């Protein structure tokens, strides 16, 4: 398979007891998935793990092996329970070291904010051999170790790190999408959806049912890296819905 047509994939590990307990609602999954799509990379799986060394190590080793890229969010701050760096280093079989550039960045950032103490210096710790990901918000950089990208848990900081990575990851073609809506029960057209998707190579149809205004309907999101295939599939689905007496709505309901 050539570089232009092969599907590049990524996985995401969300680290944090606060996510699993429900105290904090994760917002990074959606923004990372959207950003990856623009880079031409598919977010294939997401795992939420606790602040536990063994759990993080196992997840890192499993997901980095079966995807082109692995992202982690959370657990790279200044406190003792921020153990993602240690876990990724253990998974990669390397030591944790203080990155000299990260230290310099933090020294500059905290020069007018009380100075660089031991806790803040923890944010300069990286797996040996890692590179840095720029962070314009809080000074503390993200980390790239092999195909593993360690990002902040705070969504606004993660957004800045993603901005710094834009265009730097090798990927395939961007994933395109279009939507067709219809007032119809999803179960009534399951065969139509399956046959239509099967007829167009590399096309996926996602079905999103809803109940609104006392009626049952669904939006069908068609995705492909090919604009021609996307348009042809949308046209076929539109014709198929019309043929059974249903009124398709371009762009969704």
The residue with tokens 């959370």 is 74
Return the pLDDT at 13: 98
Task: State the pTM of this model.
Answer: 0.77
Angle at which helices 227-243 and 190-199 pack, to 10 degrees? 150
Burial of 118 (0-12, 13-18, 19+ CB in 10 A): exposed
Return the pLDDT at 1: 44
Give me the helices (H) in the chain, please.
Answer: 17-21, 28-39, 53-65, 84-92, 100-109, 118-121, 155-165, 190-199, 227-243
- 27-84 pLDDT, tens digit per residue, is 999 999 989 988 889 999 999 999 999 999 999 999 999 999 999 999 998 988 899 9
The residue with tokens 């599907």 is 7
- 151-171 pLDDT, tens digit per residue, is 999 999 999 999 888 888 998
Residue closest to 52 by CA, chosen among 17, 77, 26: 17
4 pLDDT band, cuts 50/70/90, is low
CA of residue 167 relative to chain centroid, distance = 15
Q: What mean pLDDT do residues 14-34 have?
A: 94
Other Cβ atoms closer than 10 A to 124: 22
- 217-239 pLDDT, tens digit per residue, is 999 999 888 899 999 999 999 99
């Amino acid at each position: 398979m050539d570089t232009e047509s092969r599907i590049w994939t990524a996985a995401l590990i969300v680290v944090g007891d606060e996510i699993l307990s429900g105290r904090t609602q994760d917002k990074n999954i959606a923004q990372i998935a959207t950003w990856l799509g623009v880079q031409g990379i598919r977010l294939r799986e997401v795992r939420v793990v606790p602040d536990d060394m063994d759990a993080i190590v196992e997840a890192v080793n499993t997901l980095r092996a079966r995807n082109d890229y692995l992202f982690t969010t959370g657990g790279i701050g200044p406190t003792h329970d921020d153990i993602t760096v240690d876990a990724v280093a253990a998974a990669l079989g390397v030591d944790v070291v203080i990155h000299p550039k990260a230290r310099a960045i933090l020294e500059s950032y905290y020069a007018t904010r009380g100075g660089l103490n031991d806790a803040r210096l923890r944010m300069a710790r990286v797996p040996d051999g890692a590179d840095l990901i720029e962070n314009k918000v809080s000074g503390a950089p993200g980390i790239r170790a092999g195909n593993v990208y360690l990002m902040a848990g705070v969504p606004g900081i993660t957004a800045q790190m993603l901005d710094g990575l834009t265009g730097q990851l090798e990927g395939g073609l961007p994933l395109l999408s279009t939507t067709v809506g219809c007032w119809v029960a999803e179960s009534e057209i399951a065969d139509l959806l399956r046959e239509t998707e099967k007829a167009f190579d590399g096309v996926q149809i996602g079905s999103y049912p809803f109940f609104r205004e006392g009626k049952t309907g669904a939006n069908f999101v068609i995705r492909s890296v090919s604009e021609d295939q996307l348009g042809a599939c949308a046209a076929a689905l539109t014709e198929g819905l019309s043929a059974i007496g249903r009124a398709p709505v371009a762009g969704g309901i």
